[in-house]
Amino acid sequence: MKNNNINTVSNSPFTMMGPIELRQPIPSQKIPRVDPFLLLHHYGPYSISKDQNPFELGAHPHRGFEPITFLIQGEQKHRDSLGNEQVIKSGGVQWITSGKGILHAEGPTKEFVEKSGELEGIQLWLNLPRSKKMMEPNYQQADLEQMEFVSFDGGRITVVAGEQKGSLGVIKTQTPVNAFWVDIKQGAETFIEIPSSHQSLVYLIKGEVEINNSQSLKYGEDAMVVFDQDGDGFQIKAKESSKLLVLSGEPIDEPVVMEGPFVMNSRRETYQAFIDYQEGKMGVL
């Protein structure tokens, strides 16, 4: 198996989303996007309690892409204009296909706030092609217990979406996409298979690893690697017990206009999205 060459290595700088401080490796100065992935926010860990709850996001709209939440620890409640009301727990994923428009709200559950705890997760924006930007919206959720695993000596790969070594993700995707958790103990190593048609990246959640026996990633320093499309995947070796998010997908290669909560192909389309939202055409919560 041939390793994909490393294209870019970047840290994960802090940014503000309103009153919330979080890490944002995409978009950044070094990595504006990794087609089809538009944005990656790593939020938390936040200490949640009755006296402190910084992560309560009220109703807001989306159109033209897929906002996805991978929950690392804690509990979050999701509500949307399709009538879904679900709780996502540690290791789970909520995968929203906003399509022509959806409203949703999210935040820690009341029970979690009452008992207190740590909240941490990844918010990912995955682009949709022009042909699917105005499709009917959809919501999928999967708990950790529903997902398939690939075990190896000293770790495991959780297949959220796509395929890895014969194991399939429970999430159904609109475009060819892989999303994996990798949990790996110190000294262990594994090869992650990636189709040559995919753009791919690794984001380090915690710990320290070596990629392709050459590039070290350490949480809080260089935390993301983006690869070229010139091999069969890449090698990961843990210098200490680590957790990583692996993403890959076929590039869409279309114009991208991101305006607030909307991602379309032109400014005219994002302007229309704001009008449609104001006129109530994206539903109510």
129-176 tens-digit pLDDT: 999 999 999 999 999 999 999 999 999 999 999 999 999 999 999 999
Rounded Cα distance between 182 and 36, Å, is 21
Q: Identify the sign of the CA torsion 82, 105, 99, 279.
A: positive
Q: Is 62 annotated as a binding residue?
A: yes
pLDDT exceeding 90 applies to what percent of the chain? 91
Record the tokens describing residue 85, joined without a space.
Answer: 């009301």
Is 106 within any annotated ligand binding site?
yes
Architecture in CATH of 6-278: Sandwich (2.60)
pLDDT digits (tens, 9 = 90+) for 35-73: 999 999 999 999 998 887 767 778 999 999 999 999 999
Q: Using alpha carbons, select from 61, 63, 196, 81 the residue that is nearest to residue 130.
A: 63
List beta partners, residue 60: 104
Confirm whether residue 60 is marked as ligand binding. yes
DSSP 8-state secondary structure symbol assigned to residue 35: T
**Average pLDDT over every residue of 118-137:** 97
Side-chain half-sphere CA neighbours of 176 within 13 A: 13
Q: Is 78 annotated as a binding residue?
A: no
pLDDT in tens, 217-240: 998 788 999 999 999 999 999 999
